Amino acid sequence: MSVHVSHLTKLYGTQCVLDDISFEAQKGQVLGFLGPNGAGKTTTMKIITGFIPQNEGKAMVCGHDTEKEPMEAKKRVGYLPESNPLYHDMYVREYLEFVARVHGLGNKTQSRIKEMIEVTGLSSESKKKIGQLSKGYRQRVGLAQAMLHDPEVLILDEPTAGLDPNQLLEIRGLIKSLGKEKTVILSTHIMQEVEAICDRVIIISKGKLVADDSPGNLQQRVKGSMAVRVEFKENVSAESLKKIRGVKDVRQDRNAWLLFSIGKNDLREDVSAYAREKNLTLLMLQLEESSLEEVFKSLTTSNSKL
Amino acid sequence: MFAIYLKELNAFFSSLIGYLALGVFLLVMGLFVWIFPDTGVLDYGFASLDMLFVTAPWVFMFLIPAITMRSFSEELSGGTFELLATRPLKDAEIIIGKYLAALTLVLFSLLPTSIYYFSVYLLGAPAGNIDSGATTGSYIGLLLIGSTFVSIGIFTSSVTRNQIVAFVLAMFVCYIFFDAFERLSKLDIFYARVDDIVEQTGINAHYTSISRGVLDTRDLVYFISLNAIFIRLTHLVLQSRKW
């Protein structure tokens, strides 16, 4: 068990930020941390990395208690904080050399730095000062410093914030490949990211853990109706669409219509029958999968627990 | 600790801060010791470096807070302290690394003034007619004052994210310890009761004693404790994030 968190509770003054959170993260897994702003994602990460202590509970990294053996735990963690703090006056290489010295990499220093600069795609920028880099490149420096000492556990607080779409794909690919041999815990607001790279999702809301499952399972578990997206060449009215068998609700979405079913029925057959009957030309007919976004919304707005 | 020390030292010398501090210190010292007619050695007629040792602590009082003000304030305001604190480093190592780096800069600023010593040594009539014991003592005293100011500066820097606040606060505390205690001891309410204790709390009394060339353990203990107190206070401030 690489990261083991049990009954974590954190109070800021009288405000309870984390309330009895327990979870585990295994090697070879990318764990996604989801939750609205202020849910306690960053606080949990700060506790695992040993920056602040918890009021109750325990956080273990590779079998080392972050409170009792902080040095052993910290050696095994690579951390990218939310704001990606860096020394703007330092050169990229100089900064990585400093990090290597802190971790006592010794004669592996240069080869590790070379590897990290290549992996994160910093080669063209490695001779610049960090302050001169764009946000995306700074983010890469942040990732490089987190991975430099080859830690078993990577804690990444919103690692893809501020990246352009190409960089986004690259960095996601990098995290995914890292996740094969390491334990990666990352927090994010972006649902597609979770669907793309996470093997497991933990949703936190108001300091409480509300879900801990794979993205697939979470999608299946969401209750409610199924939707079908349909587009006709001709104009049709909402009233006539509502008369199709099994349709509960109709909503217009630009040129297309979203039809919601009563219960969990596939509406596609009925819709195509309706189009034939009325002599309409179907331009599109597609089953809408309930997205993680809906799961997230239903879990973090109501107090329900899956 | 060594990594922090090197990083801080690099930061001094890869930016202007280090050269500026050294340059200003040496310029002001040169003016006072050699150029200004009221204070210069050449017009004074005696082979002594007293002027250097009287002026240097006052210049330190401005320059050392300027060197140390960024040490923690910058890390706190930039968020880099979080990264430092989550690396396998003890808080004490971070503090000592920064402390030693600033102290090294102070040492570098004093080294070139050894030229003054050799000049005055040769200018004496006959040559070599200078109180070498007192001069050595004064240098040790200056270094101890420098280290105390560094520990004060690092402490005030850990209290605030604002470098200007850290600078002004450090200058104030340095002044209180260097000069204010001695002056306060002359107040009537202290007279003949605790005036010697008040005076001994200040730095100047111990500095004067060391400057005579007699290295008294009491003075050494005073300086080391003062350093230790401010380093410990810094440690407490850093640890307070865990309260």
- pLDDT above 70: residue A289: no
Nearest CA in chain B to A54: B242
ipTM of the complex: 0.88
Q: Which residues of chain B does A145 touch, with a Cβ-Cβ cutoff of 8 Å? A: 83
Residue B226 token pair: 């003062």
Q: How many Cβ atoms are within 10 Å of A281's Cβ, its own excluded?
A: 9
Identify any residues that bridge with A30 across adjacent strands, giving them in sequence order.
Answer: A184
* CATH class, range A3-220: alpha beta
Instruction: Please state the separation of Cα B223 from the chain's center in Å.
Output: 11
Burial class (CB in 10 A: 0-12, 13-18, 19+), A260: middle
pLDDT digit string (tens) for A141-186?
A: 999 999 999 999 999 998 887 778 888 888 888 888 888 889 999 9
Chain-chain contact of A94 with B241 (C-beta, under 8 angstroms): no
User: Tell me, what's the pLDDT at B61?
Assistant: 95
Contact B155, B233 (CB under 8 A): yes
Does residue B243 belong to the interface with chain A, where contact is any CB pair within 8 Å?
no
Nearest to B11 by CA among A103, A135, A144, A94: A94
* Residue A226: partners with Cβ closer than 8 Å, 6 or more residues away: A260, A261, A264, A265, A266, A267, A287, A288, A290
Q: Using CB atoms and an 8 Å cut-off, which of residues 88-107 of chain B contact chain A?
A: 88-90
**Residue with the larger pLDDT of the pair B43 and A17:** A17
Q: What is the full DSSP assignment across B5-47?
A: HHHHHHHHHHSHHHHHHHHHHHHHHHIIIII-TTT-HHHH-S-
Determine what percent of chain B is predicted with pLDDT higher than 90. Answer: 67
Domain extents for chain A? Answer: 3-220, 227-289
Q: Which residues of chain A does B79 touch, with a Cβ-Cβ cutoff of 8 Å? A: 81, 83, 85
Q: Of A57-61, A95-99, A260-264, B91-95, give the lowest mean pLDDT range.
A: A260-264
Determine what percent of chain A is predicted with pLDDT higher than 90. Answer: 31
User: Tell me, what's the pLDDT at A306?
Assistant: 44
Contact A6, A57 (CB under 8 A): yes
Q: Which residues of chain B does A77 touch, with a Cβ-Cβ cutoff of 8 Å? A: 86
- Please state the rounded mean pLDDT for residues A190-215: 85
Does residue B1 belong to the interface with chain A, where contact is any CB pair within 8 Å?
no
Does residue B15 belong to the interface with chain A, where contact is any CB pair within 8 Å?
yes
Fold of the domain spanning A227-289: Alpha-Beta Plaits (3.30.70)
CA distance B82 to A46: 9
Burial class (CB in 10 A: 0-12, 13-18, 19+), A206: middle
Contact B57, B206 (CB under 8 A): no
In this chain, the answer to whether the domains covering A3-220 and A227-289 adopt an identical fold is no
Positions of chain B with pLDDT under 70: none
- Please state the rounded mean pLDDT for residues A6-21: 88
Return the number of CB contacts < 8 Å for A and B. Answer: 56
User: Tell me, what's the pLDDT at A85?
Assistant: 93
Strand pairing report for A153-157 and A3-12? unpaired
Residue B54 token pair: 């009287």
User: Tell me, what's the pLDDT at A221?
Assistant: 64
Does residue A216 belong to the interface with chain B, where contact is any CB pair within 8 Å?
no
Q: In what order do the strands lie in the sheet with A3-12?
A: A15-25, A3-12, A56-61, A64-65
- Please state the rounded mean pLDDT for residues A290-304: 66
Determine what percent of chain A is predicted with pLDDT higher than 70. Answer: 92
* Confidence band, pLDDT 50/70/90 cuts, at residue A291: low
User: Tell me, what's the pLDDT at A292?
Assistant: 66
Instruction: Please state the separation of Cα A246 from the chain's center in Å.
Output: 36
Report how many domains make up chain B: 1
- pLDDT above 60: residue A299: yes
Which SS3 state, helix, strand or coil, does residue A129 take?
Answer: strand
CA distance B202 to B1: 31
Q: What is the full DSSP assignment across chain B?
A: -HHHHHHHHHHHHHSHHHHHHHHHHHHHHHIIIII-TTT-HHHH-S---HHHHHHHHHHHHHHHHHHHTHHHHHHHHHSHHHHHHTSS--HHHHHHHHHHHHHHHHHHHHGGGHHHHHHHHHHSSSTT-S-HHHHHHHHHHHHHHHHHHHHHHHHHHHH-S-HHHHHHHHHHHHHIIIIIHHHHTTSTTTTTTTHHHHHHHSHHHHHHHHHTT---HHHHHHHHHHHHHHHHHHHHHHHGGG-
User: The whole model's pTM is what?
Assistant: 0.85
CA distance B186 to A140: 61
User: Tell me, what's the pLDDT at A290?
Assistant: 61
User: Tell me, what's the pLDDT at B26?
Assistant: 94
**Residues written for chain A:** 306
Q: Using CB atoms and an 8 Å cut-off, which of residues 7-46 of chain A contact chain B?
A: 46
pLDDT digit string (tens) for A220-270?
A: 665 555 778 888 888 888 888 888 888 877 878 778 888 877 766 778 888
Does residue B87 belong to the interface with chain A, where contact is any CB pair within 8 Å?
yes
User: Tell me, what's the pLDDT at A113?
Assistant: 94
pLDDT digit string (tens) for B30-61?
A: 998 888 888 888 887 787 888 889 999 999 99
CA distance B89 to A38: 29
Chain-chain contact of B86 with A74 (C-beta, under 8 angstroms): yes
Which SS3 state, helix, strand or coil, does residue A298 take?
Answer: helix
Mutate to test the interface with A, among B16, B87, B243 (most CBs of A within 10 A): B87
Domain that holds residue B66: 2-242
